[in-house]
Structure 1
Amino acid sequence: MKAPARLVGFALIANPEVASPEGEQPMPQTPAEFRDKFRVGENLLHRSDGWTVSLRPGACTLGACVIGADRPHVSLADIDAGEAAALVDAVGWFEARVRAAFDADKFNYLALMMVDDHLHFHALPRYAAPRSAGGVAWSDPGWPGQPDLKHANTADPQALAAVRAALTGMPGA
């Protein structure tokens, strides 16, 4: 049975007509460049039709992920109806798994795309109190305000493997 998806704290900030602070338009990223930067291959958790869910490198909160489009898009308005439905499925998978594994209090979604000009969402579980996973005490210093994207919880490869296993249900995944 699918868990219903709820978007909480959704922000989409992307305008290809607005120049970067240096006065230049960002160059569109290919899906392959995006996957390389976010190490999707090693951090992959889930695939749906048109979207991948992967652990976010430098996790600012426990279970922070990136939900990225498989096709090259620079605007949410560019996705088709099938991709829109698959995005809801990907978000539902993410929320259900993180809620079950780590008891997240809320979820925030950011689609900034000012540096990485490829359609993706930073999917951030939010926590009113620290959580423990993989032998690491995970904090959310931005709670109850905006997420602190510069904060990175220190986790070794074994701790990240434990988080991955908790989210996928596969030991050592």
Structure 2
Amino acid sequence: MNDTILKFGYPATLIREYEHWVVLLRPAQLTLGSLVLAARSDATDFGSLSPAAFAELKQATADIAAALGSAVAHEKLNYLMLMMVDPHVHFHVFPRYEGSRDAAGVTLADQSWPGPPDLSKGRKLEQGELEALASWLKGHWPA
């Protein structure tokens, strides 16, 4: 695994593994169900990913939409690809909704709704919260 994936807590935060991608629970939750979708390769430029990684991205994003739709009934999904601090190809995925959502003992409001997400408002999860939320979210993942 590349350093970016490890920085986001792999394997403890792992929700789903694909051949070319991993889906991780974001340790700092901006909205309930915030994720990191990270390429398993060492690519630091989106255009450098393999054709197979691009093809599999369709399945990973469809699964994310289905899982988060079931789990938090989001109104929008925001994918942010910044790669300014963590260089390997990855997206921050934020389910967006009006109001708040709760699961596994964690309640989070979308404080920026309906505007752009404010990354400074993320809530860093305690280890027990991280484990409980990851387990809960895995239960919503498509088979």
TM-score (norm 1): 0.75
Q: Does 1:37 align with 2:11?
A: no
CA RMSD of aligned residues (A): 1.6
2:116 aligned to which of 133, 136, 146 = 146
Larger Rg: 1
Kept in 1, the 8 Å contact 2:2–2:42? The answer is no
Superposed displacement of residue 75, structure 1 = 1.3
Superposed displacement of residue 72, structure 1 = 0.8
4+ runs deviating over 4 angstroms: none
SS of 1:121's partner is strand
Indicate the percent of aligned positions where both proteins have the same amino acid.
35
Q: Does 1:61 align with 2:61?
A: no
Structure 2 distance, partners of 1:32, 1:77, is 17
How do 1:21-170 residues align onto structure 2 when only pairs under 5 Å count? 31-153=1-123, 155-169=125-139
Structure 2 distance, partners of 1:69, 1:38, is 13
Q: Which amino acid aligns with 1:51?
A: W
Kept in 2, the 8 Å contact 1:44–1:53? The answer is yes
Uncovered stretches (5+) of structure 1, i.e. residues with no partner: 1-30
Structure 1 distance, partners of 2:75, 2:86, is 28
SS of 2:121's partner is coil
Structure 2 distance, partners of 1:67, 1:127, is 20
Query: Aligned pair count?
Result: 140
Superposed displacement of residue 144, structure 1 = 0.5
Residue by residue, what CA displacement relative to the aligned partner does 1:57-110 show, whole Å, maximum 9, x if unpaired? 111111101011111111111112210111111111111111101111110001
Structure 1 distance, partners of 2:132, 2:74, is 17
Kept in 1, the 8 Å contact 2:27–2:130? The answer is no
Structure 1 distance, partners of 2:119, 2:92, is 10
Structure 1 distance, partners of 2:124, 2:108, is 8
Superposed displacement of residue 128, structure 1 = 0.9
Superposed displacement of residue 155, structure 1 = 4.1
Q: Which amino acid aligns with 2:98?
A: A
